[in-house]
Amino acid sequence: MCGIVAYTGSNEAYPILIKGLKRLEYRGYDSAGVALSQGNKIGLYKCRGRVADLDLFCSDKDIKACAGIAHTRWATHGEPNTQNAHPHLSEDGKIALIHNGIVENYLVLKKELMSRGYKFQSNTDTEVLVHLIQDIFVKEQVPLEEAVRIALGGVVGTYALAILSADNPGQIILAKKGSPLLIGIGDNEYYVGSDGAPIVEYTKKVVYLEDGDVAVVAPQKKLVIRNINDNAKKRPYWQKLEMNLEQLEKDGFEHYMLKEIFEQPKAIRDSMRGRLNVQKDVVSLGGIIEYETKMMNARRFIIVACGTSYHAGLVAEYLFENIARIPVEVEYASEFRYRNPLIYEDDVIIAISQSGETADTIAAVELAKRKGATVIGICNVVGSTLARATNAGSYTHAGPEIGVASTKAFTAQVTVLTLMALSIARKKGTLALSEYHQIIGCLEDIPEKVNEILQLDDIIKDISTHFVNKRNAIYLGRGVNYPVALEGALKLKEISYIHAEGYPSAEMKHGPIALIDEEMPVIVLATEQETYEKTVSNIQEVIARKGRIISIVTKGDTLVKEMSNYCIEIPATTELLTPLISCIPLQLLAYHVAVLRGCNVDKPRNLAKSVSVE
Q: How far is the CB of 516 from ligand F6R (least distance, A)?
A: 26
Q: Pick between residue 504 and residue 604 the one whose CB is nearest to ligand F6R.
A: 604
Q: Which helix (H) or strand (E) holds 24?
A: helix 13-24
Q: What 3-state class would DSSP assign to 216? A: strand
> Smallest distance from the beta carbon of 243 to ligand F6R, in angstroms?
16
Query: Which residue in the list 19, 176, 259, 609 is annotated as catalytic?
Result: 609
Nearer to ligand F6R by Cβ, of 43 and 307: the residue is 307
User: What are the backbone dihedrals phi and psi of residue 489, each rounded to the nearest 5 degrees, phi first?
Assistant: -65, -40
CB of 403 to ligand F6R, least distance (A): 8
Nearest Cα neighbor of 124 from 149, 147, 107 is: 107
d(CA 299, CA 292): 13
| Residue 2 annotated among the catalytic residues of the structure | yes
Please identify the residue of the shown chain whose CB is closest to the bound ligand F6R.
Answer: 307
Give me the least distance between CB of 384 and ligand F6R, in Å please.
9
HSE-CB at 164 with a 13 A cutoff on CA atoms is: 35
CB closer to ligand F6R out of 16 and 302: 302
The single residue of 2, 66, 442, 599 carrying the catalytic annotation is 2
**CB of residue 125 to ligand F6R, shortest distance in Å:** 21
Cα–Cα dist 322/375, whole Å: 22
Q: How far is the CB of 591 from ligand F6R (least distance, A)?
A: 12
DSSP states along 453-489: HHTTHHHHHHHHTTTTT-SEEEEEE-TTHHHHHHHHH
- By beta-carbon proximity to ligand F6R, the closer residue of 164 and 386 is 386
- Residue 581 CB, nearest distance to ligand F6R (Å)? 18
Q: How far is the CB of 187 from ligand F6R (least distance, A)?
A: 33
609 is catalytic: yes
Rounded least distance, CB 402 to ligand F6R, Å: 11
- Of the candidates 134, 129, 140, the one whose C-alpha atom is nearest the C-alpha of residue 162 is 129
Nearest CB to ligand F6R, comparing residues 354 and 415: 354
CB-count exposure of residue 59 (10 Å: 0-12, 13-18, 19+): exposed
AA identity, residue 243? M
| CB distance 84 to 123 below 8 Å | yes
Chain-centroid distance, C-alpha 56: 29
DSSP string spanning 182-215? EEEE-SS-EEEESSSTTTTTT-SEEEE--TTEEE
Q: Is the Cβ of residue 31 or residue 354 nearer to ligand F6R in the bound state?
A: 354
Measured CA distances, 221 to 82, 176, 443 (Å)? 34, 21, 51
- Cα of 466 vs its chain's centroid, Å: 31
Task: Give the angle 607-248-164 at the CA atoms, nearest 5°.
Answer: 70
The angle at the Cα of 204, spanning 353 to 68, to the nearest 5 degrees, equals 90
Residue numbers of the site for ligand F6R (CB under 6 A)? 306-309, 353-355, 358, 361, 405-406, 490, 494, 611
Phi/psi for 499 (5° steps) reads -70, 125
405 vs 576 by CB, closer to ligand F6R: 405
* Long-range Cβ contacts of 185-188 (<8 Å, 24+ apart): 185/223, 185/238, 186/9, 187/9, 188/9, 188/10, 188/219, 188/220
Q: What are phi and psi of 183, to 5 degrees?
A: -120, 130
Using CA atoms, how far residue 36 sits from 5, 46, 61, 73, 131, in Å, is 12, 11, 12, 18, 19
Instruction: Indicate the residue among 8 and 358 with the shorter CB distance to ligand F6R.
Output: 358
CB of 42 or CB of 495, closer to ligand F6R: 495
Q: Which class for 443: exposed (0-12), middle (13-18), buried (19 or more C-beta within 10 A)?
A: buried
Q: Which residues are catalytic?
A: 2, 609
